[in-house]
Amino acid sequence: MKALVLDEPGQTRLAEVPHPGKPGAGEVLLQIRMVGLCGSDLSTFAGKNPLVSYPRIPGHEIAATIAEAGADVPAQFAAGMAVTMLPYSSCGLCAACRRGRGNACRNNQTLGVQRDGALTEFALAPWTKLKQAPGLPRRTLAMVEPLTVGCHAVRRGRVAREDTVLVIGCGMVGLGAVAAAAFRGARIIAMDMDDAKLELAQRAGAQHTVHAGSTDATTAVAELTGGEGPDVVIEAVGTPATFRLAVEVVAFTGRVVYIGYAKEPVSYETRLFVQKELDILGSRNATDADFDEVIAMLDSGGFPVEDAVSLVVPLEGAGEALARWSADPASMRKIMVEVGL
């Protein structure tokens, strides 16, 4: 069968690889239909993720059909069924796992990062990682996982109907936070430097937008919140400036959720943590409950899937698409790879 293999950073090859074989107990054989590519695949391609070893098959945003179910797989996961899956593994033993938070497992392995991913025709998967979403078309199904990351931040921030939420950064992760917060009925302010992203954020449920490049962001957010600041701020950029902005603009006793990875140390006016008595929260990957919430949100038509997809290519074109995207990261939002019809 065919797979897209990254031999080393920047070097892709459409390869002939061994079929994974029959599913064992508790496993299913998946026929991969559609795989979304995101920023993490881009850093794998570019050799910027230190967790990746090569050769590696990338891809972790999956729409698949069950080709065959092994022994001990519940009857609801039968051949022919459309599924997506949680691409993270957890050890079950570390402190995070013992607290039931396997999404932050210290030994986490993600498909396409530490293990081979989904840009291949068939793959084996444990049934416990599968999610059914019978009503969703394939592109929407492959969009579930990237949206769950923002949804998890909304869960961490305990976003409720009465909250005003500021989402800083409207890439796919930020858009997921906007859509999940809107699904919970909150009022949302979206902030970005890119007008097209802000427009998409509006279609995903943001009532207000702030263009961070052309406005004094702090003043704009204060004006939109009667001088109080948002109840929840979700940071999905990962720069020192936005990390600081989050604690500066958030309301007293508010919640700040960080999903962005700051690549350098950030210096803070820590007095704000105390004075405002803030909840400062990290958010990593996503949980089973986030998948359920995103599927329900997508079922209700709560996300402009087609607007978020920039390019659809066959498996044969995935390598070239990654190279093009890598050369100009701002040129594309989400690339979908059609693996099998």
Q: Does residue 85 bind Zn ion (CB under 5 A)? A: no
In the complex with Zn ion, which residue's Cβ is closer, 94 or 311? 94
Q: Does residue 294 bind Zn ion (CB under 5 A)? A: no
Binding-site size for Zn ion (CB under 5 A) equals 7
Peptide bond into 74 cis (omega under 30): no
**Angle 45-105-123 (CA atoms, 0-180°, nearest 5)?**
50
Q: Does residue 113 bind Zn ion (CB under 5 A)? A: no
**Least distance CB 259 / Zn ion (angstroms):** 12
Q: At a CB cut-off of 8 Å and minimum separation 6, what does 148 contact?
A: 176, 286, 290, 291, 293, 294
In the complex with Zn ion, which residue's Cβ is closer, 97 or 151? 97
Paired sense of beta strands 122-126 and 27-37, if any: antiparallel
Q: Return the residue of 1, 17, 81, 94 that touches Zn ion, per CB under 5 A.
A: 94
In the complex with Zn ion, which residue's Cβ is closer, 225 or 287? 287
- The number of helix segments (H) and strand segments (E) in the chain equals 12, 17
In the complex with Zn ion, which residue's Cβ is closer, 225 or 258? 258
Q: Cα dihedral sign for 235, 240, 246, 252?
A: positive
Q: Which of these ranges, 7-15, 82-90, 263-271, 295-303, lies near Zn ion under the rule CB under 5 A?
A: 82-90
Q: In what order do the strands lie in the sheet with 164-168?
A: 208-211, 187-192, 164-168, 232-235, 255-258, 279-282
In the complex with Zn ion, which residue's Cβ is closer, 94 or 222? 94
Q: Does residue 105 bind Zn ion (CB under 5 A)? A: yes
Q: Does residue 84 bind Zn ion (CB under 5 A)? A: no
Q: Per the structure block, which two tokens stand in for 158?
A: 């305990």
Q: Does residue 90 bind Zn ion (CB under 5 A)? A: yes
**Least distance CB 17 / Zn ion (angstroms):** 22
Contact in structure between 159 and 181 (CB atoms under 8 Å) = yes
**Least distance CB 73 / Zn ion (angstroms):** 24
Q: Which of these ranges, 47-55, 94-102, 129-137, 214-222, lies near Zn ion under the rule CB under 5 A?
A: 94-102
Residues 11-40 that bind Zn ion (CB under 5 A): 38
CA 198 to mean position of chain CA atoms: 18
Contact in structure between 307 and 283 (CB atoms under 8 Å) = no
C-beta atoms surrounding 123 within 10 Å = 25
Q: Does residue 97 bind Zn ion (CB under 5 A)? A: yes
In the complex with Zn ion, which residue's Cβ is closer, 41 or 231? 41
**Least distance CB 5 / Zn ion (angstroms):** 19
**Least distance CB 61 / Zn ion (angstroms):** 5
Give the whole-angstrom CA distance, residue 252 versus residue 34. Answer: 44
Give the whole-angstrom CA distance, residue 140 versus residue 126. Answer: 22
Q: Return the residue of 1, 17, 91, 332 that touches Zn ion, per CB under 5 A.
A: 91
Give contact residues for Zn ion (rule: CB under 5 A). 38, 90-91, 94, 97, 105, 146
